[in-house]
Amino acid sequence: MGGVARQLALGGAVALAVLVVFSAPAYAYIDPGTGSYLLQLLVAGALGASVALRIYWNQLKKGWGRLWGRSRRKPLEEGDARDE
């Protein structure tokens, strides 16, 4: 992590800790519909991420290959062995 990113993460953690420590009880009621709604959000997010991954899969593979300096594997020649 870079210096700025580390400072932002540390600041966010401190702010979250302060909010948790100094928060007052809410005395609120969460109805069952809220749990159903949160479950729908979770499922929709997972399905949306899977569709996006499917759409951009080839681009992700190319980028990953460039990142690690690999191109597509060459086909095996007759008599060659790979990772035996």
Give 22-70 pLDDT, tens digit per residue. Answer: 988 888 887 889 889 999 999 999 999 999 999 888 888 888 788 777 6
What is the pTM for the complete model shown? 0.43
DSSP symbol at 30: -
- pLDDT tier at 5 (50, 70, 90 boundaries)? confident
Residues 77/83, Cβ–Cβ less than 8 Å? no
- Residue 76: pLDDT above 80? no
The per-residue pLDDT for 16 is 93
* Residue 39 DSSP SS3: helix
